[in-house]
Structure 1
Amino acid sequence: MALVRRRPPARSRTAAKPEPAERLPVARVAVDMSLPHLDRPFDYLVPADADCVPGCRVRVRFAGSLVDGFVLDRVDRSEHEGRLAFLDRVVSGEPVLAPQVATLARAVADRYAGTMADVLRLAVPPRHAKVEAEPPGVAAPAPQPPDGPGPWAEYTAGAAYVRELAAGRPARAVWNALPGADWPAAIAHAVATVRSVGNGAVVVVPDHRDVARLDAAVRAACGPDQHVVLTAELGPAQRYRRWLAVRRGAVQVVVGTRAAMFAPVHDLGLVVCWDDGDDLHAEQRAPYPHVREVLCLRAHREGAAALIGGFASTAEGARLLATGWAHAVAGDRSAVRAAMPAVRVAGDDADLARDPAARSARLPQSAWRAAKEALAHGPVLVQTPRRGYVPVLACRSCRHTAHCPHCQGPLAATGDGQPACRLCGRPVANWRCPSCSATGLRAVVVGAARTAEELGKAFPGVRVRVSGGDADVLAEVPAAGQLVVATPGAEPVAAGGYAAALLLDGWALLGRADLRAAEEALRRWLTAAALVRTGSAGGRVVVLADSSLPVVQALVRWDPAGFAERELADRAELRFPPAVRAAAVTGDATAVDELLGADRLPEVSDVLGPVPLPGDPQEVRALVRVPRRDGAALAAGLHAGLAVRSAVKAPGKVRVQVDPLEVL
């Protein structure tokens, strides 16, 4: 008898319907969707067997697709009158999104006319399941309080600020570091003071070299296992492991670059932003938040102390002082004069060196002599604004930028000395300036590589090293006599300090079409000059710029706070940030016109433009500015306009940046 195989019964295509949880059956989920019209929580039912807690990661079905999300809260009922879908699954029961970070993300999105989903991508790193399965660490006991005010005793109100930190009060300060100050040690002392009373701290610095110095200082002040370093350069597993240690409360101090500004520190007692004028603090991803603004917002919302510091001051810092939100911590004039190097201004064409070697290095005689004398006592720093070789040429007489007579592109020097156009490549002979009829050309900015080559000829037998640009960035250099050519931000620390510093091409820095050109030039100069020995120890700085300019005088006097106050007053008169709130709207001309013409902006809005972008006539840029009291309404109006565009799938691209670094 043949055996007949029976086909097994078909499985039901419909899975058993889950039952909702008896208690708090509704989860409010922040869905990972960056569309502005979907920038709100959505309600889902929680299955009875789901390990779902506020802050955990989930997967939900949204518009026919499975997307990620975070549970913001669980509630008894939903305000939605229709049928609710169930969570597809709980990815992990780990509550990675802290409540204070969730509310901060919402506030940052609202301030910058962005979406909460974009902010959460910056705030919470991607999951690493293997790391998440590791057992949690044990928090180290709080260190003993440091003795006295330490480095802060050198500053007016410094000791009082440390006492406020020790008492757990939300003291807020704008700090002007003294020339040559060991700023990592000062910050580490403040962090140790906060940790000694059981509170945590977030410290954000511009780059990895600053992180390395601060990492060592905090370890020395607080002891081992008291802090972690968070930077974007870390691998996924290592970054998530350190971030998770902070979220679980095993570590309460975070040091890092801008990736650390959202670190979920428990019992936050202090936020620190060092060198807040550095453009590395501006996030390049939407909604483009700035570290200083995010940390100030955190301090305000969480009742923490704040410290905004640097060798230079910004107009934003001056405004914090003017409004009374923060108080100044700075050295008195006698302390500043004792700590600063001697600063001299040179660089007029009439002052070019008569010595052939100095002329080949385009150095005025005073700068060449200062470098030559200083090399006998230690290293000499040469700061040049650009990397590489000569990028642009200008008239030797009036400094009008030289353009190609064929296509109006900028001229640049070539290897054979013949100027040529950077756009069309044609060589240009017998060039004549259209402004003054002169025929001579000079380099607008000579890059680090060309500067090093010229200095090698001017100082034969002296070692020349390059830091930054196309070369590796040096962390430190020995005390031996040598020339160190560095681009701004890449200046290495010299053992015992530099004997001298030459700050080249100051007029090129100041001639940029940028609202912050003078402020940024002073910041770069002060950062370099702070690495030089004191004037009493023979340290000297020579800056090539016009001595009559207020920014140059601020360097000579070492008065960053006074210059920042002047900048703030000038911007208030011109109605530019930070005296007002502004938003840059960039994109297709039609899309920009539609967004700005939708009658959603405050009535007091002042719209400048739109104007075509250089090099791309298809895109335009407009600047919308309002009084500061209307800043929230401006951001809300722009967000509402973007939401309408995304809802109807309007053609064209539009990008909104609130309070951008580049205003002009």
Structure 2
Amino acid sequence: MARVLPILGLAHLDRPFDYLVDAAMDADAQPGVRVRVRFSGRLVDGFLLERLPHSDHPGRLAWLDRVVSPEQVLTPEIAALARAVADRYAGTVPDVLRLAIPPRHARVEKDAPAAAPDFEIVAPDLERWYAYDGGAAFLEALLEGRHPRVAWQARPGEDPAARLAELAAVVASRGRGVVIVVPDQRDLDRLEAACAPLLGERCVALAAGLGPTARYRRWLEVLRGRAQVVIGTRSAVFAPVHDLALTIVFDDGDRSLDEPRTPYPHPREVAVLRAHQTTSALVIGGFSRTAETQALVESGWARDLVAPRTTVRADMPRVDGISDDDRRIAGDPLARSARIPGIAFDAARRALDAGHPVLFSVPRRGYLPSVACARCREHARCRACHGPLQMNDRGDLACRWCGRMENRFACGKCGGTAVRALMIGDRRTAEELGRAFTGVPIVTSGGDKIVDEVDDGARVVVATPGAQPRAAHGYGAAVLLDTWAQLDRQDLRAAEEAVRHWMAVAALVRPHGDGGRVVIVADAALTPVQALIRWDPVTFASYELRNRRELGFPPAVAMASIDGPAAAVAAFLKMIDEPPGTRRLGPVPLPPGVRPPAGVDPAADLERVLLRTERAQGRELAAALRAAQVLRHARHEDTAGIRVQVDPNTIG
């Protein structure tokens, strides 16, 4: 007898079913293997969860069709984690397993397993960790096999990849497993380079860029116990590491970590669930801090791991904002209105004269990435998909979403045919700086042309968020432009993301004792700007969390968004048995910049409804949403195109 979870993709069938096992398949039909079963007259894939001596099903049982592979790819730990994630996000276990287990490649499974690596793990130098308050106690807990949970605030100028590699080596040297999740391939490349000399082949990198065959081969190495340390992007948080002792999620506020596939689990939350289930250690780190991480600290579930203020002040660059009473910009009356004020040019010239590179950070790539009607200032939108229009350096208009050229623009509000720039992109900025700093090399990094590192020497680098190159010995100065575009977005996380980006840029600049300077073109009195000037992301995260509590937004409350065509959303809402005290917000039009659910016409009448309840009732809300999904699928109602997200990362 075998208990099997069929991969059906229907909420009302998200449960195991019992099947008879033929004697010929008995040896291969082990828990965790892939199987094929007949369900409702058709053959479907599934996972064998457990073997049973008998079944409680009173009716007739079908036979297991075949064992696809004897490889036990679904471990008990990952099966339990998938169930917990599905419950947390009102999803189904098959959807979570699609994220957790890569597609099978038969040839890879048939290859002879590689010999166990004989690389001896190099003992790391942990001196930099002892510079943090509580660093010694944290390391001691790891060495003793305990499970500390910390929110690590990286020091200015810190090399995160080197620090994470050191932690991995400490745990792996005790024969236990480590999972490290970073936002993107650039971060992964740096981390892999830092891990190689300490861990050798005991560390494997998992990322979609490897290709399906190479990725499955490495994933099998982890499953078979050949590798102890896994580093990777989003889905690496599910890696089947043996005897997991430590999970690390770095820079959890990066939007690259937002899972675009249902049920949309965030790696930070998956790591929290996994640390709880396995009683293992957890580190959530970064130069900035999210409100979610701060909530874990304030609840007592995690502890701070931060450097003393004297150390932070010595490591950070000098940071200047723009204010009316700032004597440093006396004589520059246009400082508050100019896109690049005199104080910024002064900082850049000083750094260039000293032979150091200078970084200019702009929010968007392109030439003029955002335009509006010149007559009424209404945002210029695509007639096909309603996406925002942009202009290239030849003056051509095109949609940023679908790429459709707009040859005859006409404003939908006033009928105007001319446009004006709302934002200047990296290429236009590079043109302006090329004229301002004659003879100085200009380097751009963004979009599909990202530069990883620049050499020392006088040069100007123009980069978009997340694409800023590292300078070999740090930048002499950095200028943060168009900060209004980051702060004025109608998004719950606008200020949090702005601070995160600013700190990532400032962390690349030399300490103020070596002449490093950052100029942020924003009002120095603003709370987010003060967080950068003081280099105090913890206080800012606490401020953000306090605001979320007052306004009733995650993580202070549990919230779910329901997006889709108006009629489908209304029909789905009738199926939800909401927990007591749940409040509905909306319906409202789907916020600008939020893509419609898969398979839905962008031109349709799309709406969003938010459901909000107390944090303690979060599980009840998720259960109610899942029950509504079950009812929806069981009735075969025409509510296609509904997207349900629990604690969505984007609300506004």
Amino acid at match of 1:199: R
Would the aligned equivalents of 2:268 and 2:284 in 1 still touch at CA under 8 Å?
yes
Gaps of 5+ in 2: 400-404, 593-601
Would the aligned equivalents of 1:142 and 1:196 in 2 still touch at CA under 8 Å?
no
Amino acid at match of 2:575: A
Say which SS state the counterpart of residue 605 (structure 2) adopts. strand
Cα displacement string for residues 399-443 of structure 1 (whole angstroms, at most 9, x for unaligned residues): x955579x9998977868899999784479xx9x9xxxxxxx984
Displacement after TM superposition at 1:588 (Å) = 2.1
Corresponding position of 2:253: 277
Corresponding position of 1:334: 310
Displacement after TM superposition at 1:135 (Å) = 2.0
Equivalent residue in structure 1 for 2:451, among 471, 474, 482:
474
Corresponding position of 1:464: 442
Equivalent residue in structure 2 for 1:562, among 539, 542, 546:
539
Amino acid at match of 2:612: R
1:126-145 alignment, distance < 5 Å: 126-140=103-117, 143=120
Corresponding position of 1:18: none
Corresponding position of 1:577: 554
Corresponding position of 2:627: 640
Amino acid at match of 1:631: G
Note if 1:389 corresponds to 2:389: no
Say which SS state the counterpart of residue 181 (structure 1) adopts. coil
Say which SS state the counterpart of residue 431 (structure 2) adopts. helix
Say which SS state the counterpart of residue 58 (structure 2) adopts. coil
Note if 1:291 corresponds to 2:279: no
Say which SS state the counterpart of residue 478 (structure 2) adopts. strand
Amino acid at match of 2:284: I
Q: 1:578 to 1:142 in 2, by over 3 A?
A: farther
TM-score scaled to structure 1, two decimals?
A: 0.88
Equivalent residue in structure 2 for 1:60, among 37, 44, 69:
37
Displacement after TM superposition at 1:183 (Å) = 1.2
Say which SS state the counterpart of residue 64 (structure 2) adopts. coil
Cα displacement string for residues 11-57 of structure 1 (whole angstroms, at most 9, x for unaligned residues): xxxxxxxxxxxxxxx21111111111111111111111102100001
For 2:337 and 2:251, the matched residues in 1 are separated by: 35
For 1:231 and 1:528, the matched residues in 2 are separated by: 25
Would the aligned equivalents of 1:601 and 1:634 in 2 still touch at CA under 8 Å?
yes
Say which SS state the counterpart of residue 261 (structure 1) adopts. helix
Amino acid at match of 1:174: A
Note if 1:655 corresponds to 2:623: no
Would the aligned equivalents of 1:499 and 1:540 in 2 still touch at CA under 8 Å?
yes
Displacement after TM superposition at 1:65 (Å) = 1.1
Q: 1:352 to 1:464 in 2, by over 3 A?
A: farther
Displacement after TM superposition at 1:590 (Å) = 2.2
Displacement after TM superposition at 1:185 (Å) = 1.3
Q: 1:404 to 1:42 in 2, by over 3 A?
A: closer
Q: 1:404 to 1:309 in 2, by over 3 A?
A: closer
Corresponding position of 1:14: none
Q: 1:456 to 1:575 in 2, by over 3 A?
A: same
Amino acid at match of 1:650: E
Displacement after TM superposition at 1:650 (Å) = 0.4
Corresponding position of 1:34: 9
1:31-430 alignment, distance < 5 Å: 31-50=6-25, 51-140=28-117, 143=120, 146=123, 149-222=126-199, 224-346=200-322, 362-376=339-353, 377-393=355-371, 402=378, 425-426=408-409
Would the aligned equivalents of 1:361 and 1:455 in 2 still touch at CA under 8 Å?
no
For 1:279 and 1:569, the matched residues in 2 are separated by: 22
Q: 1:342 to 1:575 in 2, by over 3 A?
A: same
Displacement after TM superposition at 1:130 (Å) = 1.1
Q: 1:518 to 1:44 in 2, by over 3 A?
A: same
Q: Percent identity?
A: 51
Amino acid at match of 1:370: A
Say which SS state the counterpart of residue 175 (structure 2) adopts. coil
Cα displacement string for residues 348-373 of structure 1 (whole angstroms, at most 9, x for unaligned residues): 8x9899799x9999410110111111
Corresponding position of 2:599: none
Would the aligned equivalents of 1:420 and 1:427 in 2 still touch at CA under 8 Å?
no
For 1:78 and 1:380, the matched residues in 2 are separated by: 70
For 1:47 and 1:186, the matched residues in 2 are separated by: 52
1:619-630 alignment, distance < 5 Å: 619-630=606-617
TM-score scaled to structure 2, two decimals?
A: 0.90
Cα displacement string for residues 569-593 of structure 1 (whole angstroms, at most 9, x for unaligned residues): 1101111000011111011222212
Say which SS state the counterpart of residue 233 (structure 1) adopts. helix
Corresponding position of 1:17: none
Would the aligned equivalents of 1:151 and 1:185 in 2 still touch at CA under 8 Å?
no
Q: CA RMSD in A?
A: 3.1
Say which SS state the counterpart of residue 304 (structure 2) adopts. strand
Say which SS state the counterpart of residue 210 (structure 2) adopts. coil
Would the aligned equivalents of 1:347 and 1:543 in 2 still touch at CA under 8 Å?
no
Q: 1:388 to 1:114 in 2, by over 3 A?
A: same
Corresponding position of 2:595: none
Q: 1:476 to 1:512 in 2, by over 3 A?
A: same
Q: Which has the larger radius of gyration?
A: 1
Gaps of 5+ in 1: 1-25, 434-440
Cα displacement string for residues 117-152 of structure 1 (whole angstroms, at most 9, x for unaligned residues): 111111111111111012223434685673663320
Say which SS state the counterpart of residue 97 (structure 1) adopts. coil
Q: 1:472 to 1:427 in 2, by over 3 A?
A: same
Displacement after TM superposition at 1:566 (Å) = 0.5
Say which SS state the counterpart of residue 523 (structure 2) adopts. coil
Corresponding position of 1:20: none
For 1:462 and 1:355, the matched residues in 2 are separated by: 27
Q: 1:347 to 1:84 in 2, by over 3 A?
A: farther
Amino acid at match of 2:223: R
How many residue pairs get aligned? The number is: 625
Amino acid at match of 1:47: D
Amino acid at match of 1:540: R
Corresponding position of 1:518: 495
For 2:64 and 2:609, the matched residues in 1 are separated by: 43
Displacement after TM superposition at 1:171 (Å) = 0.6
Displacement after TM superposition at 1:335 (Å) = 0.5
Would the aligned equivalents of 2:35 and 2:68 in 1 still touch at CA under 8 Å?
yes
Corresponding position of 2:597: none
Q: 1:472 to 1:144 in 2, by over 3 A?
A: closer
Would the aligned equivalents of 2:145 and 2:245 in 1 still touch at CA under 8 Å?
yes
Corresponding position of 1:9: none
